[in-house]
Amino acid sequence: MNKFDVGIIGGGPGGYTAALHAAAKGEKVVLFEKDNIGGVCLNKGCIPTKSILHSSEVYKQIINSASFGVSVENINLDYSKVKERKNKTVEILRKGIELALKNSKVSVVKEEAHIVSSNVIQTKNNQYECNKIICATGSSPKVVKGLEFDHKFLLSSDDILDLDKLPESVLIVGSGAIGIEWARIFNNFGVDTTVIELASSLLPIADTEVSKRVERIFKSNKIKYYTETSVQKIENHKVILSNNEIIEPEIVLVAVGRTPNPHTIIEGIEYIGDVCGEIQLAHYAIKQALEKIDDIEFRKEYTPSVVYGNPEIAWVGKREQDLEPNTYKKSMVLVSALGKAHCDGNTDGFIKILSQDNKIVGVHIVCAEASSLILQLLIAMQNGINAEKLKEICFPHPTYSEGIFEALFK
């Protein structure tokens, strides 16, 4: 029987991070991945989606470039090149991770593997004895009754990445991060886009003011949406909604979340990433891996969320609707007050800070570079740096960051 210090099933962000850090400590590591190294994030999620999103934003910027004094004629969109760039980006990053694993002397087994006991992993023809086993087998697109994927008309978030051409119209079911980002992608490319959401607001997991701002952004970009609405039935590609509206999209993207991949709970096994069914974000899985391998303290309440596009949306900590009235202070600056925003033509959004007893307890940002801005306040929150202390920091001008500085004085 093959013997290892650490055995890891799943080569996504949690799995490969755990493997690399365990190997760096001198441990003998085996990593099992039946598909491609990189997991959902690299191959079917974060990276390919952001690559396509960026292409869509470049296209939209060119379409609107006249307002910046740049006129462009004969604009041509070749979606096959967009897809080709996406595939190349994924391949480059995957090869980088594979090389890192090889250089770290991690044994990579490209087979399906199963946990037999607290210290044994089984593949088709071999068994591996491991002192420690980590299960990081990820998740898959959630299937909803009546909206089962046929991979032609009813598409999953996996399917949507492999489109050979853009549709004329799309209906997106669900307005979480996946639904919002793809609505922006299709809208940027000029596709007739409609979003339906069962909850009473778009991006319902976010702060109420963030959700309202998303709805306003959708309206300004002519993205149609319905809240408190579901699909009643589908007949011959006609989608009948619960509000009796009938939509005839070319395709439907079902983006209602993800389900942990099937796994057996065995005492003594460590479970990280999407398979836990908790926070299904790559950076959460990475932090879990570091906690298990390097004993680095991790507080999951400080896990930031980001929705990409223009403007970006990011938040961490408590939402305003989570707080009791008259127990907190709200400080907010509109992005339109920032010089950098006007220079860039990105004036939509706000920076909102919630505090209690002079401690920052929640941050909600709709702004260009929100994914970077959120980190500045997250560092303060996690290290107990209060708002008064942050006022001592010299923020550069003109930047979006100075919106944080301005908010501290509100």
Q: Minimal CA–CA distance to 341: which of 389, 259, 402, 286?
A: 402
Helix (H, G, I), strand (E, B) or coil at 308: coil
Query: Is 1's pLDDT higher than 80?
Result: no
Q: Which residue among the candidates 114, 151, 342, 397 is catalytic per the annotation?
A: 397
Architecture of domain 154-254: 3-Layer(bba) Sandwich (3.50)
Domain boundaries defined on the chain: 2-140+258-294, 154-254, 311-408
Task: Give residue 358's pLDDT.
Answer: 87
Residue 31 has pLDDT above 90, yes or no: yes
Whether the predicted pLDDT of 9 surpasses 80: yes
Using the predicted structure, report yes or no on whether residue 240 has a pLDDT greater than 90: yes
Domain 154-254 and domain 311-408, same fold? Reply is: no
Topology of 311-408 in CATH? Answer: Enolase-like; domain 1 (3.30.390)
Spatial CA neighbour of 248 closest among 183, 194, 182: 194
| Residue 407 phi, psi (nearest 5) | -65, -30
* Beta-carbon contacts of residue 75 (< 8 Å; ≥ 6 apart): 59, 62, 63
The model's pLDDT over 202-226, given as tens digits with 9 standing for 90+, comes to: 999 999 999 999 999 999 999 999 9
Tens of pLDDT, residue by residue over 103-162, are 999 999 999 999 999 999 999 999 999 999 999 999 999 999 999 999 999 999 999 999
Of 37, 253, 51, 49, nearest to 138 (Cα)? Answer: 37
**Tokens matching residue 343:** 């220079």
Per-residue pLDDT averaged across 333-351, rounded?
97
The superfamily (CATH) of domain 2-140+258-294 is: FAD/NAD(P)-binding domain (3.50.50.60)
Mean pLDDT, the chain, whole residue set: 96
Q: Dihedral through CA 36, CA 42, CA 45, CA 49, nearest 10? A: -130
Of the pLDDT bands very low, low, confident and very high (cuts 50, 70, 90), residue 295 is very high
Read off the pLDDT band of 14 (50, 70, 90): very high
Whether pLDDT at 69 is above 80: yes
Report whether 335 contacts 367 (CB < 8 A).
yes
pLDDT at 305 over 80: yes
Specify the pLDDT at position 121: 96
Question: Which pLDDT score is estimated for 226?
Answer: 98
The band of 263, judged by pLDDT with boundaries at 50, 70 and 90, is confident
Residue 180 has pLDDT above 90, yes or no: yes
- What count of other Cβ atoms lies within 10 Å of the Cβ of residue 150? 10
The answer to whether 8 and 134 have CB atoms below 8 angstroms apart is: yes
With a pLDDT cut of 90, the percent of the chain lying above it is 96
- Looking at residues 75-95, what average pLDDT do you find? 97
**Paired tokens of 67:** 């307002």
Across residues 4-16, what is the average pLDDT? 97
Q: Is the pLDDT of residue 49 over 80?
A: yes
Residue 298's pLDDT is 87
Verdict on whether the full-model pTM lies above 0.75: yes
Q: Are 261 and 137 in contact (CB under 8 A)?
A: yes
Residue 18: strand pairing partners: none
CA separation, residue 114 to residues 118, 127, 273 (Å): 11, 10, 17
**Burial of 400 by CB count in 10 Å (0-12 exposed, 13-18 middle, 19+ buried)?**
buried
- Report, as an integer, the average pLDDT of 278-300: 95
Q: How far apart are CA 175 and CA 195, in angstroms?
A: 7
Report pLDDT for 410.
84
397 carries an active-site annotation: yes
The answer to whether residue 190 scores a pLDDT higher than 90 is yes
